[in-house]
Structure 1
Amino acid sequence: MPERPEIVCICGSTRFVQQMRRANRDLTFAGVIVVAPGEADELITDEQKAALGALHLRKIDLADRVLVVNPDGYIGQSMRREIAYARATGKPVSFTGPVPSDQ
């Protein structure tokens, strides 16, 4: 095992929560430190959503790379912003599903 395990930030739509949990589990068992989106069991306010979005960008800052969970190729507005941010900060970005043509 390396001196410091790789850190991967998972990005994805809440509609793919089960797939993100699976990716988290698989990466963790592979010896990777995983940072992932926060989860809420109830509706959140716009203010909370904005705060979580800003927090997720800080998670990207911590990561060595970003894994986008998009099983059907879906990339929403928040994910587009996260992907653009990751790339602007020099983080490699990979996808679990089809890579959108504009990526």
Structure 2
Amino acid sequence: MSDAKKLSGLPRIVVICGSTRFMAAMNEADLRETAAGRIVVKPGCDMKSPHPLWSAPADAEALKARLDDLHRAKIRLADEVLVVGDCIGDSTRAEIACARSLGRPVRFTHPEVDPGTED
């Protein structure tokens, strides 16, 4: 797909990863990446904020699984990953591992939280 994107003249695609508790920082990163001429994809749901779509525990659990799958698809689509936030949880750590296994470059707003490569 990368070759097809290059041939079509599409700008680089950056996927933003990190905990949704950093949504304000993600929005700022989106603004900066967009201003730099990159296409940005990021989490579209903040399940840490109340909403009828995930108010029932069973609904929340099913939606979380679908959103995790969707975010991994965004990582596969992207040319690179930008991890936002000053701490890394299990989900973000798995996203970083996924990106690196696909050969995607990973940048961090806080490089000190980079878990490094996992052997």
Common fold by TM > 0.5: yes
Q: 1:56 aligns with which of 53, 59, 71?
A: 71
CA distance in structure 1 between the partners assigned to 2:113 and 2:40 by the alignment: 24
Equivalent-residue separation in structure 2 for 1:101 and 1:58 (angstroms): 22
Q: How does 1:1-103 map to 2 (within 5 A)?
A: 3-40=9-46, 41-42=49-50, 44=54, 45-70=60-85, 72=86, 74-100=87-113, 102-103=115-116
Could you list the runs of 5+ residues in structure 1 that have no partner in the other structure? none
Shift of 1:102: 3.3
| 1:10–1:101 Cα change, 3 Å | closer
Higher helix content, 1 or 2: 2
Q: Cα RMSD between the aligned structures?
A: 1.6
Q: Does the residue aligned with 2:113 lie in a helix, a strand or coil?
A: coil
Matches of 2:107 and 2:10, distance apart in 1:
21
Determine which structure has greater relative contact order: mean sequence separation of CA pairs < 8 Å that are 6+ residues apart, divided by chain length: 1
More off after superposition, 47-56 vs 90-99: 90-99
* Structure 1 moving runs of 4+ over 3 Å: none
User: Contact conserved, 2:16 with 2:26, CA < 8 A, in 1?
Assistant: yes
Structure 2 regions of 5+ residues with no counterpart? 1-5, 55-59
> Which residue identity is paired with 1:78?
S
Percent of counterpart pairs with the same letter?
50
Please tell me the residue identity of whatever aligns with 2:79.
D
Distance 2:38 2:23 in 1: 19
1:101 is displaced (CA, Å) by 6.0
Report the TM-score, using the length of structure 1 for normalisation.
Answer: 0.89
